[in-house]
Structure 1
Amino acid sequence: MRKLMTMLATIGLTTMSMAVQAQTAKVNGTVNGGQKAVEAASVGVLRAKDSSVVKLAVTDKAGQFEVEKLAAGKYLVVIQSVGYAKYYSESFDLGNGQSYTVKPVTLVNASKELQGVVVTSKKPFIEQKLDRTIINVDASPTNAGTTVMEVLEKSPGISVDKDGNISVKGKQGVVVMLDGKPTYLSAQDLANMLNNMSSSNLESIEIMTNPPARFDASGNSGVINIKTKKSKVMGYNASITTGYTQGVLPKTNNSINLNYRKGKMNFFGNASHNYNENFGELKIDRNFRNQTTNALLSTFDQLADNQREFKSYNYKAGFDYFMNKKTTLGLVVNGYDSKGIEYTDNTTFIKDPMGALVTRTQAINDVHLHFNNVGVNMNLRHVFDSTGKELTMDADYIRYTQDNTQMLTNDFYDHNGSIKAPKEILRGILPAAINIYSIKADYSQSLKGQMKLETGWKSSYVNTDNDAQYANWNGTSFVNDVTRSNHFLYKENINAAYLNLNKQFSKKWSAQLGLRAENTNITGNQLTTGEVFKRNYTQVFPTMYIGYTSNEKNQFALSYGRRIDRPNYQDLNPFFYFLDKYTYQVGNPYLRPQFSHNIELTHTFKGILNSSINYSTTNDILQDVLEQIDSTNSSFMKKSNIARRQNLGASVSLGMPVTKWFRTNIYMNGFYNKFTGVVNGGEISVTGATFMTNISNQFTLPKGWGAELSGFYRTGGVEGVLAMKSMGGLNIGFTKQVMKNKGTIRLVARDILYTQQFRGYSRYQNVDVTIRQARDSRVVNLSFTYRFSKGKTAAQRKRGGANEEQNRVNIGGGN
Structure 2
Amino acid sequence: MRRFRLLLIAAMLVIGGANASAARQNVSEIKGTVLDKATGGPLGWTTVALMRPDSTLAAGATCDDKGAYSLQAAPGEYIIKASLIGYKDSYKNVNVVTGLNEIEPLNMSEDTQMIAGATVTERVKLVEMKIDKLVMNVSQSAFAQGSNALDLIKKAPGVTIDKDGNITLNGKKVQVWIDGRPSYLDGKGLEALLRSTSGSSIDKFELMEHPSAKYDAEGQGGIINIKTKRNALSGLNGEIGTDDGGMYFGETGRFLMRENVNGSLSYRTAKTNTFVSAYQGIYDMDIDMNIDNKLTQDGVPFRILAQSLQKDRYRNWQVRFGNDWFIDKKNTLGFIVNMPSSRNIMKSDRDHNVTTQTLGDKELERAESATWNEDKSRQTNGNLNFTHIFNEATNSEITVNMDYYHNADWTGNDQKTFTRNMGASDWIPSTRYIDSDNKVNIWSAKADYEGTVFNFARLEAGAKWALSKTDNTTLRTETGPSASDAETRFKYRENIGAAYLSLAAQFGPKWTAKAGLRGEYTNSFGDWISAGDESRRSYFDLFPTAFVGFNPSASLRFALSYTRRIQRPSYMALNPVENYIDAHTYNVGDPDLRPAYSDKASLSAGFGQHFSLAASFSHTGGMFSQLPELKENGDQLLIWTNYGRQNMTALTFNVTELPMAKWLAWTFSTTGLYSSAKIADRESNDSFTLSCYTCFTFILPKDWKVQLDGFYRSPMAYGYFKLHDLYSMNIGVKKTMLDNRLVLTLNLDDVLRSSCTNLDCLGFTSTVLGDVNSSVIRQKYYSQIAHIGLTWRFGKAQRIRARKVGSIDEASRIGGGKGLGGK
Q: Scaled by the length of structure 1, what TM-score is found? A: 0.86
Alignment match, 1:136? 137
Alignment match, 1:794? 800
Does structure 1 residue 282 correspond to structure 2 residue 281?
no
- Partner deviation per Cα, 1:259-291 (whole Å, 9 max, x = no partner): 11124111112211101111100111112334x
Residue 474 of structure 1: how far off its partner (Å) = 6.2
Q: Which runs of 5+ in 2 are unaligned?
A: 1-25, 37-41, 110-118, 249-255, 767-771, 816-823
Does structure 1 residue 318 correspond to structure 2 residue 322?
yes
Query: Separation in 1 of the partners of 2:499 and 2:586?
Result: 41
Deviates more, 1:541-550 or 1:356-365: 356-365
Alignment match, 1:4? none
Amino acid paired to 1:324: D
CA contact (8 A) 2:418 2:430 kept: yes
Alpha-carbon distance change, 355 to 149 in structure 1, aligned in 2, over 3 angstroms? farther
Query: Separation in 1 of the partners of 2:683 and 2:414?
Result: 37
Query: Separation in 1 of the partners of 2:194 and 2:544?
Result: 31
- Partner deviation per Cα, 1:160-205 (whole Å, 9 max, x = no partner): 223322211122x211122222222242322343345442332221
Amino acid paired to 1:46: M
Query: Separation in 2 of the partners of 1:613 and 1:544?
Result: 16
1:443 to 445, 449, 466: 449
Residue 687 of structure 1: how far off its partner (Å) = 0.4
Alignment match, 1:338? 342
Equivalence map 1:680-759=2 (5 Å): 682-759=681-758
Alignment match, 2:9? none
CA contact (8 A) 2:373 2:413 kept: yes
- Partner deviation per Cα, 1:101-148 (whole Å, 9 max, x = no partner): 31368999xxxxxxxxx9964422212222111112232213443332
Alignment match, 1:10? none
Residue 756 of structure 1: how far off its partner (Å) = 2.1
Alignment match, 1:6? none
- Partner deviation per Cα, 1:34-54 (whole Å, 9 max, x = no partner): 9xx999997532357x86534
Residue 347 of structure 1: how far off its partner (Å) = 3.3
Secondary structure class of the residue paired with 1:324: coil
1:619 to 618, 621, 629: 621
Alignment match, 2:181? 181
Alignment match, 2:20? none
- Partner deviation per Cα, 1:376-401 (whole Å, 9 max, x = no partner): 11110111122222010100111011
CA contact (8 A) 2:615 2:652 kept: yes
- Partner deviation per Cα, 1:494-553 (whole Å, 9 max, x = no partner): 000000000011100010000000000101111212212111111000000101101010
Alignment match, 1:373? 379
Alignment match, 2:169? 168
Alpha-carbon distance change, 553 to 38 in structure 1, aligned in 2, over 3 angstroms? closer
Residue 253 of structure 1: how far off its partner (Å) = 1.4
Residue 353 of structure 1: how far off its partner (Å) = 3.3
Alpha-carbon distance change, 775 to 120 in structure 1, aligned in 2, over 3 angstroms? same
Alignment match, 2:226? 226
Does structure 1 residue 488 correspond to structure 2 residue 490?
yes
CA contact (8 A) 1:57 1:388 kept: no
Amino acid paired to 1:369: D
Alignment match, 1:15? none
Residue 758 of structure 1: how far off its partner (Å) = 2.3
2:426 to 413, 419, 428: 419
CA contact (8 A) 1:267 1:320 kept: yes
Alignment match, 1:157? 158
Alpha-carbon distance change, 636 to 806 in structure 1, aligned in 2, over 3 angstroms? farther
Secondary structure class of the residue paired with 2:211: coil
CA contact (8 A) 2:399 2:449 kept: yes
Amino acid paired to 1:215: Y
CA contact (8 A) 1:672 1:690 kept: yes
Alpha-carbon distance change, 65 to 362 in structure 1, aligned in 2, over 3 angstroms? same
Alignment match, 2:257? 250
CA contact (8 A) 1:487 1:526 kept: yes
Amino acid paired to 2:742: G
Alpha-carbon distance change, 58 to 340 in structure 1, aligned in 2, over 3 angstroms? closer
- Partner deviation per Cα, 1:408-442 (whole Å, 9 max, x = no partner): 1111023567225x311111111111111010001
CA contact (8 A) 2:545 2:562 kept: yes
Query: Separation in 2 of the partners of 1:335 and 1:552?
Result: 46
Deviates more, 1:462-471 or 1:38-47: 38-47
Alignment match, 2:50? 45
Secondary structure class of the residue paired with 2:684: strand
Secondary structure class of the residue paired with 2:754: coil
Identity %: 27
Alignment match, 1:300? 304
Query: Separation in 2 of the partners of 1:587 and 1:362?
Result: 27
Query: Separation in 2 of the partners of 1:794 and 1:613?
Result: 44
- Partner deviation per Cα, 1:298-337 (whole Å, 9 max, x = no partner): 2111111001112211121111111101101001011101
Alignment match, 1:563? 565
Deviates more, 1:569-578 or 1:213-222: 569-578
Does structure 1 residue 652 correspond to structure 2 residue 688?
no
Deviates more, 1:617-626 or 1:198-207: 198-207
CA contact (8 A) 1:395 1:440 kept: yes
Amino acid paired to 2:319: Y
Residue 749 of structure 1: how far off its partner (Å) = 1.3
Does structure 1 residue 407 correspond to structure 2 residue 403?
no
Query: Separation in 2 of the partners of 1:240 and 1:714?
Result: 37
Does structure 1 residue 361 correspond to structure 2 residue 360?
no
Amino acid paired to 2:530: T
Query: Separation in 2 of the partners of 1:250 and 1:243?
Result: 11
Query: Separation in 2 of the partners of 1:95 and 1:797?
Result: 24
Query: Separation in 1 of the partners of 2:219 and 2:814?
Result: 26
Secondary structure class of the residue paired with 2:812: helix
Alpha-carbon distance change, 531 to 805 in structure 1, aligned in 2, over 3 angstroms? farther
Alignment match, 2:400? 393
Query: Separation in 1 of the partners of 2:103 and 2:208?
Result: 37
Amino acid paired to 1:572: L
Task: State the superposition RMSD in angstroms.
Answer: 3.3
1:470 to 473, 476, 495: 476
Query: Separation in 2 of the partners of 1:788 and 1:195?
Result: 25
- Partner deviation per Cα, 1:443-462 (whole Å, 9 max, x = no partner): 11101241011100000011
Q: Which runs of 5+ in 1 are unaligned?
A: 1-23, 109-117, 811-815
Alignment match, 2:13? none
Alignment match, 1:458? 464
Query: Separation in 2 of the partners of 1:40 and 1:201?
Result: 25
CA contact (8 A) 2:712 2:727 kept: yes
1:525 to 507, 527, 531: 527
Q: Scaled by the length of structure 2, what TM-score is found? A: 0.85
Query: Separation in 2 of the partners of 1:758 and 1:42?
Result: 47
CA contact (8 A) 2:60 2:71 kept: no
Secondary structure class of the residue paired with 1:217: coil
Alpha-carbon distance change, 594 to 279 in structure 1, aligned in 2, over 3 angstroms? same
Residue 809 of structure 1: how far off its partner (Å) = 8.7
CA contact (8 A) 2:237 2:796 kept: yes
Count of aligned residue pairs for this structure pair: 755
Deviates more, 1:142-151 or 1:302-311: 142-151
Alignment match, 1:76? 80
Alpha-carbon distance change, 209 to 581 in structure 1, aligned in 2, over 3 angstroms? same
Alpha-carbon distance change, 201 to 419 in structure 1, aligned in 2, over 3 angstroms? farther
CA contact (8 A) 1:29 1:104 kept: no
- Partner deviation per Cα, 1:738-775 (whole Å, 9 max, x = no partner): 23431111111122221222222124422531122111
